[in-house]
DNA sequence: GCTATATTCAACACATCAGTTGATCAACGG
DNA sequence: CCGTTGATCAACTGATGTGTTGAATATAGC
């Protein structure tokens, strides 16, 4: 299941902020409300609310409604889409390096 | 092998740009110089040069020297550090969800 | 209805980023 | 030497991001 470029933009950019990564770390242990999520941080709840909007736009979290609360939960599938993009190219690179090593090895043998 | 928060900031932020991801895609197939990398893009070589600096600062690529060329090659280990951060939390979340599903299942059985 | 709580919206300040152009530096080739 | 090529540096512009404060919205509970 592939993802378009803008989703990758938003997903990776979302992870490029320590506050948002901390929010993800917290949400990996279970859903939480904005207030609960904001509690450990020194910044305002409005700022946290915006970080959560960024995560939601990136598809990394989903939000439901429970009275006046807006509980957030992590979306593992979106995380998986990001790792699989990275892994594609990492594996290609590793294969490439092994191939080059093999060629160098061959050259060395012929040389001796 | 863990990575500090600033490295994650730089790494993920670096991937949050389509030009830089395209550079990584290209480099996964083998090393290349700035000129070669810039060729397919509509932006100036200076802009590409800066993107490469961003990737280098993030540790995602390394650069050597070959006369006046500065060949770039991908660093798979840095990519792996990013996927492993994501996977940690993705797996935690998936375990958490399975646990909750199991609890709901138990409740449903007791209810019937 | 009235007040408190949870969350978001709006407007602003400040920093960072991505791109440009023009100049500079370093190495290569005749 | 000297012109050319590969790459970077510097200064500037416009856009985007992160934070603030203060107001607004919506729901809960009496």
Contacts with B16 (C-beta within 8 Å, 6 or more apart), sequence order: A8, A9, A10, A11, A12, A13, A14, A15, A16
A3 vs B: CB within 8 A: no
How confident is the model at residue B53, as a pLDDT?
98
Structural domain contains residue A74 = yes
Q: B30's torsion region: left (phi>0), alpha (psi -120 to 50) or beta?
A: left
Query: How far does the CA of A47 sit from the C1' of C10, in Å?
Result: 14
Distance (Å) from the alpha carbon of B49 to chain A's nearest alpha carbon: 20
The pLDDT tens digits of the residues spanning A29-42 come to: 999 999 999 999 99
**B90 and A28: CB-CB below 8 Å?**
yes
Strand D closer than 7 Å to the CB of B33? Answer: yes
Q: CA B84, CA B63: separation in Å to the nearest integer?
A: 24
Q: Is the pLDDT confidence value at B73 over 90?
A: yes
Distance (Å) from the alpha carbon of A108 to chain B's nearest alpha carbon: 21
Of B65, B68, B66, B63, give the one whose Cα is nearest residue B27. B63
Q: How many domains does one find in chain B?
A: 1
The pLDDT tens digits of the residues spanning A80-89 come to: 999 999 999 9
Show the domain range for B46. Answer: 5-111
A2 vs B: CB within 8 A: no
Strand partners of residue A32? A72
Query: How far does the CA of A18 sit from the C1' of C24, in Å?
Result: 38
Structural domain contains residue A112 = no
CATH of the domain at A27: 1.10.10.10
Overall average pLDDT of the B22-43 stretch? 97
Residue percentage of chain A with pLDDT more than 70: 97
pLDDT band (50, 70, 90) for residue B112: low
How confident is the model at residue A107, as a pLDDT?
81
Higher pLDDT, B73 or B99: B73
Name the token pair of A40.
């450990």
Of A84, A105, A12, A89, give the one whose Cα is nearest residue B23. A89
């Amino acid at each position: 299941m592939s993802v378009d470029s803008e989703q990758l933009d938003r997903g990776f950019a979302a992870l490029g902020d320590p506050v948002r990564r901390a929010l993800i770390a917290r949400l990996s242990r279970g859903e939480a409300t904005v207030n609960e999520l904001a509690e450990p941080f020194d910044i305002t709840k409005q700022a946290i609310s915006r970080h959560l909007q960024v995560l939601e736009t990136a598809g990394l979290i989903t939000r439901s409604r429970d009275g006046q609360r807006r509980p957030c939960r992590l979306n593992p599938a979106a995380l998986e889409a990001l790792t699989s993009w990275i892994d594609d190219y990492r594996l290609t690179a590793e294969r490439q390096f092994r191939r080059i090593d093999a060629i160098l090895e061959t050259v060395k043998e012929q040389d001796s």
